[in-house]
């Protein structure tokens, strides 16, 4: 039986396919943009300049210093670049770091954003902006930061190295996993979440085996879009809280942290959410969804232990303390000893197990 629910459709135009980057000039015109500032990271500057040339007259300039976690000092430099070229629109080309900068600029200036994602992080589908000031990350949620138009071009993801595709893809799966058991989940989001997980779980091993597999790259980007919608539409829980805490406290890489923590967070929550667990199991083709995600990460040659990405062992207790402060909703009660055991397993790379509190 379908119970009662609220579903909010976020306003965003999506153009998906191969070669869709060529639609960028037309999409800018649709937005009424006359002078566009292109944003990239230093690593993607050349790609940004090529895009600028393809945009023609509306190309007003490029800012190529987008940085992970959206430091406000970088945003201020980008604001100055906007002013210098009198930009009335932002075109962000890149992963979550570049999208984040575009959102920070839109928040401060109200300009429209054309977002062209090249990873699977999903930020382009969310009204969420995380910014860092003096090392502290704060998050705001407002439709003012939601990009007006998103172009997904599968061709741009072909250069995403398989290792990055693997962890970025599992980062996306994490959004859908938590959406399936979100307090405010709904039947439409559950459809998108299950399909997003299925598309990525099928595509990622194929990409790692054959990085130029266009069909797999297309499936992965499609799955990432669906998972991004999940993140933008319903609330997250333990997994995202843990990754936020661990990433911020120990300066751990975003997608790798998600990849390592997800099987453990799901093992913790699965006993409390049997229907979500069975949908995830079905989507990844494994009877035990947490173990299935752990095995998927292993098949993708991803790192399985937080100690291998820079977390010190003495940080386990601190992380457990932080994870149980500031109460937040989770389908399974948050219990410190069980959370500490979860973090310890993720730190050492052990296989996920359900917590004793589930009994
Ligand atoms: P990223 O944007 O930092 O990209 C990682 C690196 O890969 C960069 O050097 C980038 O230039 C490069 N890269 C990106 N696409 C490439 C491609 N196709 N080919 C070759 N290189 C490529 O990493 P990310 O994981 O996409 O984003 C992480 C950031 O996004 C974090 O700061 C995270 O907090 C944020 N995020 C925010 C939200 C949100 O809703 N606000 C959602 C997800 C992630």
State the pLDDT at residue 141.
94
Q: Does the CB atom of residue 30 touch ligand 1 within 6 A?
A: no
Pocket test for ligand 1, best of 95, 137, 214, 236 (most atoms within 8 A of CB): 95
Q: Does the CB atom of residue 44 touch ligand 1 within 6 A?
A: yes
Domains of the chain: 13-157 (3.40.50.1970), 162-348 (1.20.1090.10)
How many CB atoms sit inside 10 A of residue 205's CB? 15
Residue positions counted in the chain: 359
CA 122 – ligand 1 centroid, Å? 9
Q: Which atom of ligand 1 is nearest to the CA of 70?
A: 32
Residue stretches of the chain with pLDDT short of 50: 358-359
∠ CA 243-248-252, nearest 5°, is 70
Q: What pLDDT digit, counting tens, does each position of 2-38 carry?
A: 889 898 889 899 999 999 999 999 999 999 999 999 9
Q: What pLDDT digit, counting tens, does each position of 246-289 carry?
A: 988 898 999 999 999 999 999 999 999 999 999 999 999 999 99
CA 123 – ligand 1 centroid, Å? 9
Which whole-number Å values give the CA distances from 167 to 254, 287, 288, 293, in the listed order?
9, 22, 20, 12
State the pLDDT at residue 248.
84
Distance CA 83, CA 89 (A): 11
Strands 149-153 and 13-17: what pairing? parallel
CA 273 – ligand 1 centroid, Å? 30
Based on C-alpha coordinates, what's the Rg of the chain?
20
> What residue owns the CA closest to ligand 1's atom 5?
95
> What residue owns the CA closest to ligand 1's atom 2?
95
State the pLDDT at residue 327.
78
Helix H segments across 270-335? 274-284, 289-299, 315-324
Q: Is 107 exposed, middle or buried (0-12, 13-18, 19+ CB in 10 A)?
A: middle
Which 3 state secondary structure label does DSSP give 35? Answer: coil
Q: Does the CB atom of residue 98 touch ligand 1 within 6 A?
A: yes
- Give strand pairing partners of 114: 91, 149
Q: What is the DSSP letter of 287?
A: S
> What residue owns the CA closest to ligand 1's atom 35?
96
Which whole-number Å values give the CA distances from 120 to 131, 154, 287, in the listed order?
20, 11, 26
Tokens of 271: 């006993």
Tokens of 161: 């190295």
Q: Does the CB atom of residue 143 touch ligand 1 within 6 A?
A: no
Q: What is the DSSP letter of 347?
A: H
Q: Which atom of ligand 1 is nearest to the CA of 232?
A: 40
State the pLDDT at residue 358.
44
Which 3 state secondary structure label does DSSP give 254? Answer: helix
CA 100 – ligand 1 centroid, Å? 9
CA 69 – ligand 1 centroid, Å? 9
- What spatial distance separates the first Cα and last Cα of the chain, rounded to whole Å? 27
> What residue owns the CA closest to ligand 1's atom 42?
123
Helix H segments across the chain? 24-30, 45-55, 72-84, 96-109, 154-157, 162-180, 187-209, 214-233, 238-250, 254-269, 274-284, 289-299, 315-324, 336-348
Q: Does the CB atom of residue 127 touch ligand 1 within 6 A?
A: no
Q: Which atom of ligand 1 is nearest to the CA of 42?
A: 11
CA 121 – ligand 1 centroid, Å? 6
Closest alpha carbon to 16 in 221, 212, 197? 221
């Amino acid at each position: 039986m379908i119970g009662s629910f609220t579903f909010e459709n976020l306003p965003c135009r999506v153009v998906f396919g191969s070669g869709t980057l060529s639609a960028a000039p037309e999409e800018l015109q649709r937005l009424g943009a006359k002078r566009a500032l292109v944003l990239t990271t230093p690593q993607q500057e050349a790609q940004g300049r090529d895009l600028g040339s393809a945009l023609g007259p509306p190309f007003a300039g490029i800012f190529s210093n987008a940085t992970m976690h959206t430091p406000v000092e970088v945003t201020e430099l980008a604001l100055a670049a906007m002013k210098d070229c009198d930009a009335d629109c932002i075109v962000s080309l890149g992963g979550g770091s570049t999208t984040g900068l575009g959102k920070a600029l839109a928040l401060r200036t109200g300009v429209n954003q054309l977002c062209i994602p090249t990873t699977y992080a999903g930020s382009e589908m969310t009204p969420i902006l995380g910014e860092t000031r003096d090392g502290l990350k704060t998050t705001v949620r407002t439709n003012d930061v939601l990009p007006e138009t998103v172009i997904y071009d599968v061709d741009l993801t072909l250069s995403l190295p398989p290792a990055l595709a693997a962890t970025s893809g599992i980062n996306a799966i994490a959004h859908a996993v938590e959406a399936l058991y979100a307090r405010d989940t709904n039947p439409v989001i559950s459809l998108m979440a299950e399909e997003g997980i299925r598309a990525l779980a099928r595509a990622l091993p194929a990409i790692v085996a054959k990085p130029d597999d266009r069909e797999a790259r297309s499936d992965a980007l499609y799955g990432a879009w669906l998972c991004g919608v999940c993140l933008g539409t319903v609330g997250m829980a333990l997994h995202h809280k843990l990754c936020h805490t661990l990433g911020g406290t120990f300066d751990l890489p975003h997608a790798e942290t998600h990849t390592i923590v997800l099987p453990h967070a799901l093992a913790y929550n699965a006993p409390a959410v049997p229907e979500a667990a069975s949908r995830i199991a079905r989507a990844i083709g494994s009877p035990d969804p947490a173990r299935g995600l752990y095995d998927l990460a292993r098949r993708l040659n991803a790192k399985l232990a937080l100690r291998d990405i820079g977390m010190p062992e003495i940080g386990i207790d601190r992380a457990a303390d932080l994870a149980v402060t500031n109460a937040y909703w989770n389908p399974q009660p948050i219990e410190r000893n069980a959370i500490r055991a979860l973090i310890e397993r993720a730190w050492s790379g052990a296989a996920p197990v359900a917590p004793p509190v589930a009994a």
